[in-house]
């Protein structure tokens, strides 16, 4: 398969920060008027051709009476200091050993920097000394993963400033959303349509982007929504939740779709009531239970969840998305075949070795049977079924398999292309830990970035122009980084032969 290089115009030299203030910015100024007030951003010396606007509030802080309520549009203020990240939403770091807290901490948020006042977004826009600065740029909106339990805007491997510095051709926006019991409480007192608050946060953030991104140099008609893991599931859930007003023109799903089996089935709301009982809020009416829990400090709630869940205490409790028939539905195949989704083009892909970082930790390598099952049942087979459903109604889907194996991301020989390991290449952060990137790794990173940029620039024609054709039953998917091949191909029959619908065949080994 032949791929052309994108014709991305790069700046010929880096300029000092002081001189950038007099040049042509995609956003025209570090002072930008928005619907929530005038924001003041920054340019730093590490990426001097990128204007950064960090921690912009798009909703009122969900505290007090607004805790466990749908997000409320932020009331305008006169001035917003957008020169530093806001805290991430309440969460805890598990003490259970894993690839992420031992080898790859760049996927975790800054320790301890959390707050309920977290409904903010971050914007990275290019500064250019060439071209027509009135041209609006394509926008990619990032939704982080973390099993709906963790994640945030200040995650080292997921900061896109180096990518924007290189491309000078697109804008990246990251949206914070509520997590675990704060984002997906499933409390009895809430309306049926308000159970998945984290998804409502994502939608309000996208509405803010639609209303304001032009002021930052972005094109409101070219917004693509990109997520990974739980963020990728969120993208597909969003795809079905807003079929007639999607805001976005393209979707990118890395390792997760609406078929990925991660959710909570608790129709009697016992999980929330169990936690409430621990804090003296039990044996109350549903409204009184919620009112009582709103008085408990978020850190105390997270500390309880950490102790309970890390210890494996029984019965198990979970706070994940539930079927509410507003943001998450019961039968996605039926809805897809009835064209009950946005019907915009999508990139959908998985990694060759997803499961090794998600099953029980062993420094010498996990149980391979368990790891293979996780790869197939959580990621590859759900992606296959999602793709087939989209194809059945004529909506283009561009499939990939990531197989890169780089020691500065996967330092142990058994890790390979584990879950999330493609992200440092896309964000341009592969060299922040465990040593510099190899020339092959850097070249692959640039090629993947350029293809993602081609898609968000034109979701219909961008990738075919680069040689990446949409899914067909007997066609191929793009394979990134296998062996010494930058961009190769793998037959869809090979990707689909190990699956029976959304489930992996017993004992099947994921294609490599």
Render pLDDT for 212-243 as a digit per residue (tens, 0 to 9). Answer: 999 999 999 999 999 999 999 999 999 999 99
Q: How many CA atoms lie within 13 A of 251 on its CB side?
A: 34
List Cβ neighbours of 437 (8 Å cut-off, separation of 6 or more).
406, 408, 430, 431, 445
SS3 track for 355-370: HHHCCCCCCCCCCHHH
Question: Cα(414)–Cα(151) distance, rounded to whole angstroms?
Answer: 25
Sign of CA dihedral 166, 170, 171, 172: negative
Question: Over its length of 512 residues, how does the chain's per-residue pLDDT go in tens digits?
Answer: 444 333 222 232 222 333 333 445 677 789 999 999 999 999 999 999 999 999 999 999 999 999 999 999 999 999 999 999 999 999 999 999 999 999 999 999 988 899 999 999 999 999 865 555 668 999 999 999 999 999 999 999 999 999 999 999 999 999 999 999 999 999 999 999 999 999 999 999 999 999 999 999 999 999 999 999 999 999 999 999 999 999 999 999 999 999 999 999 999 999 999 999 999 999 999 999 999 999 999 999 999 999 999 999 988 999 999 999 999 999 999 999 999 999 999 999 999 999 999 999 999 999 999 999 999 999 999 999 999 999 999 999 999 999 999 999 999 999 999 999 999 999 999 999 999 999 999 999 999 999 999 999 999 999 999 999 999 999 999 999 999 999 999 999 999 999 999 999 999 999 98
Structure token pair of residue 146: 């973390």
Q: Which of 464, 438, 450, 448 is nearest to 349 (CA)?
A: 448
Residue 302 among the catalytic residues: no
Q: CA 320 to CA 272: how far, in whole Å? A: 12
What is the C-alpha to C-alpha distance for residues 40 and 181, in angstroms, rounded to an integer?
33
Instruction: Mark whether 354 is an active-site residue.
Output: yes
β-strand pairing of 120-126 with 171-175: antiparallel
Residue 476 and residue 473: Cα distance in Å, rounded? 8
> Ramachandran region of residue 482, left (φ > 0), alpha (ψ -120 to 50) or beta?
beta
The number of CA neighbours under 13 Å toward the Cβ of 225 is 27
Q: What gap in Å lies between CA 439 and CA 126, rounded to an integer?
A: 25
Instruction: Check: CB of residue 415 under 8 Å from CB of residue 355.
Output: no
Candidates 161, 229, 410, 420; catalytic one = 229
Handedness of CA 278, 281, 283, 287 (dihedral sign): negative
Give the domains, in start order, of the chain with CATH numbers.
Answer: 17-103+122-266+318-504 (3.40.50.1820), 267-317 (no CATH)
Tokens for 418, please give them: 């584990």
CB atoms within 10 A of CB 294: 15
> For the segment 151-195, what is each residue's pLDDT rounded down to a tens digit?
999 999 999 999 999 999 999 999 999 999 999 999 999 999 999
229 part of the active site:
yes
Name the residue among 389, 387, 426 with its Cα closest to residue 409: 426
Query: C-alpha angle 67/72/73, rounded to 5°?
Result: 150
- Residue 183's nearest CA partner among 248, 102, 261, 237 is 237
Catalytic residue among 289, 302, 354, 422: 354
């Amino acid at each position: 398969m032949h791929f052309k290089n994108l014709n991305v115009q790069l700046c010929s030299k880096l300029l000092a920060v002081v001189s950038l203030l007099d040049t042509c910015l995609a956003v025209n100024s570090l002072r930008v008027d928005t619907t929530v007030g005038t924001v003041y951003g920054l340019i730093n010396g590490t990426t001097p051709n990128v204007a950064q606007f960090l921690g912009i509030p798009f909703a009122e802080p969900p505290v007090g009476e607004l805790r466990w309520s749908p997000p409320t549009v932020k009331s305008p203020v006169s001035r917003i200091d957008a020169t530093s990240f806001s805290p991430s939403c309440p969460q805890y770091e598990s003490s259970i050993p894993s690839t992420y807290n031992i080898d790859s901490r760049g996927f975790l948020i800054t320790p301890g920097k959390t707050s309920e006042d977290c409904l903010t977004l971050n914007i990275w826009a290019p500064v250019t000394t060439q071209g027509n600065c009135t041209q609006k740029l394509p926008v990619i909106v990032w939704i982080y993963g973390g099993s709906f339990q963790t994640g945030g805007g200040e995650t080292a491997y997921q900061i896109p400033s180096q990518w924007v510095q290189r491309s000078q051709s697109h804008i990246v926006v990251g949206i914070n959303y509520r997590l675990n019991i704060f984002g997906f409480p499933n409390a009895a007192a809430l309306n049926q349509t308000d159970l998945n608050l984290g998804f409502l946060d994502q939608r309000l953030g996208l509405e803010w982007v639609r209303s304001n991104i032009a002021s930052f140099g972005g094109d409101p008609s070219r917004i693509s929504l990109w997520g990974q893991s739980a963020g990728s599931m969120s993208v597909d859930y969003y795809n079905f939740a807003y079929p007639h007003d999607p805001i976005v023109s393209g979707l990118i799903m890395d390792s997760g779709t609406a078929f990925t089996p991660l959710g909570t089935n608790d129709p009697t709301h016992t999980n929330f009531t169990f936690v409430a009982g621990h804090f003296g809020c039990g044996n109350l009416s549903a409204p009184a239970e919620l009112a009582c829990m709103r008085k408990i400090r978020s850190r105390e709630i997270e500390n309880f969840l950490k102790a309970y869940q890390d210890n494996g205490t029984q019965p198990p409790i979970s706070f994940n998305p539930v079927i509410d028939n507003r943001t998450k539905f019961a039968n996605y195949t039926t809805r897809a075949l009835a064209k009950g989704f946005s019907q915009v083009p999508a990139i959908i892909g998985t990694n060759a070795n997803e499961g090794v970082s998600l099953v029980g930790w062993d420094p010498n390598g996990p149980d391979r049977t368990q790891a293979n099952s996780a790869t197939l049942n959580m990621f590859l087979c759900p992606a296959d079924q999602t793709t087939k459903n989209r194809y059945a109604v004529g909506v283009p889907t561009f499939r990939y398999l990531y197989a890169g194996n780089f020691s500065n991301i996967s330092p142990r020989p058994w890790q390979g292309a584990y879950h999330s390991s493609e992200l440092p290449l896309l964000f341009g952060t592969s060299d922040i830990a465990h040593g510099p990137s190899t020339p092959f790794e850097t070249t692959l990173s640039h090629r993947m970035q350029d293809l993602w940029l081609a898609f968000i620039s034109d979701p219909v024609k961008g990738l075919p122009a680069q040689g990446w054709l949409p899914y067909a039953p007997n066609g191929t998917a793009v394979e990134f980084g296998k062996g010494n091949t930058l961009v190769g191909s793998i037959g869809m029959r090979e990707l689909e032969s190990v699956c029976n619908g959304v489930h992996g065949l017993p004992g099947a080994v994921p294609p490599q």
